[in-house]
Amino acid sequence: MIDRKHIGAATEEVSIEVELSQLRLFCQATGETNPVFFDADAARAAGHETIPTPPTYPQTLLNLSPFKKNLVLDVIQADLARMLHGEQVFEHHHPIRVGDTIRMRQSVADIYDKKGGALEFIVLETLARNQDDIVCATLKSVAVIRN
Amino acid sequence: MSAHDLSMLEAGDALPTLTAGPITPLTLALFAGGSGDHNPIHVDKAFAASAGFPDVFAHGMLSMAYLGRALTDWAGPAAVRQFGVRFAAITPLGASVACTGRVEAIVEHDGERLAKLALQAAVVDGPVTLVGEALVRIG
């Protein structure tokens, strides 16, 4: 069983640049064909100041954020081989665009179990703010551990 | 349906279905690099076997990204206000994924007109893999 003492654990706040080359690779990997997401001229022609990012892209920025320790693998020390992704929620408050510097901080919001401990759930919440201190997005992930 | 038609939306209207795939090992290698999710269960067959799976399987977030494409194709790149899914089943190699959505209601929030959508991804001729909902600005 995962020690419930980890509820409330949090990362430091780290910064990550929203880089066009990474976004292009994400678009290639997801079959994205709308040039607004990878061509600055197309983005401007569609009325965007600069290139916007797709709605699940905050998770990519989170995955690539240079935290000293990964909350799930290093702090909680959950077994990756027994872990599945249970739920994912994004709330978007302000656009995240290429050229932004996003600051990420993740915390363990809850840990609970079902089926007499056969399944454990780790609820992670992340706040993503930009260089102007505007909250751009909140992320909630639920990891499921099969015991 | 182009973005400027969304003012005429009604509950019950469907989004255009987006179908992606078939998902190959290359798809998953690209998504591992593209998304920064390097979990070996999606790219390393030996690791997947050690975890009790017959083969690697797709990242749930890949199908969520496909659903995201369905949303932004329909409503524009910056219209999604909230987007959540529950991962209901694993998406195996070789699967094509069909993303569908339906308008549940039209609501107002913070001066914006939003469509509340029920969303689903499913393996073509297979199980439902993601069940979700979204709030998307339509005016």
- Give the pLDDT confidence score for residue B6 in this predicted structure: 84
Q: Are B91 and B72 in contact (CB under 8 A)?
A: no
Residues 6+ apart with CB under 8 A from A102: A15, A16, A17, A18, A58, A61, A96, A128, A129, A130, A136
Q: How far is CA A129 from the centre of its chain?
A: 12
Asked if A59 and B35 come within 8 Å (Cβ–Cβ), the reply is: yes
The CA distance from B101 to B113, in Å, is 18
Residue A138 tokens, joined = 């909140």
Mean pLDDT across A92-113 = 98
Cα end-to-end span (Å), chain B: 15
Residue B125 — φ and ψ, nearest 5°?
Answer: 60, 30
Count how many pairs of residues, chain A against chain B, have C-beta atoms within 8 Å: 114
User: A residues 97-116 near B, CB within 8 Å?
Assistant: none
User: B residues 13-52 near A, CB within 8 Å?
Assistant: 20, 27, 30-31, 33-41, 47, 50-51
Secondary structure of chain B: what % helix, strand, coil (to 5)?
Answer: 30, 35, 35
The CA distance from A62 to A23, in Å, is 13
> In chain B, how long is the greatest CA-to-CA distance?
52
Find chain A residues with C-beta within 8 A of B34's C-beta: 22, 25-30, 60
Q: What is the CATH number of domain A7-146?
A: 3.10.129.10
Burial of B63-79, coded b for 16+ CB within 10 Å and e otherwise, reads bbbbbbbbbbbbbbbbb
Asked if A54 and B77 come within 8 Å (Cβ–Cβ), the reply is: yes
- Is it the case that residue B3 has pLDDT exceeding 90? no
- Give the pLDDT confidence score for residue B139 in this predicted structure: 78
Model-level ipTM above the cut of 0.95: yes
- Is it the case that residue B4 has pLDDT exceeding 90? no
The CA distance from A147 to A8, in Å, is 22
The CA distance from A28 to A44, in Å, is 21
- Give the pLDDT confidence score for residue B7 in this predicted structure: 80
Residues 6+ apart with CB under 8 A from B107: B113, B114, B115, B116, B135
Instruction: Tell whether A34 is within 8 A of chain B (Cβ).
Output: yes
pLDDT tens digits, one per residue of B89-106:
999 999 999 999 999 999
Asked if B62 and A140 come within 8 Å (Cβ–Cβ), the reply is: no
**Structural domain spans, chain A:** 7-146
- Give the pLDDT confidence score for residue B1 in this predicted structure: 41
- Give the pLDDT confidence score for residue B72 in this predicted structure: 98
- The domains found in chain B, sorted by start residue, are 3-137 (3.10.129.10)
Asked if A140 and B84 come within 8 Å (Cβ–Cβ), the reply is: yes
What average pLDDT does chain B have?
95
The CA distance from A102 to A119, in Å, is 33
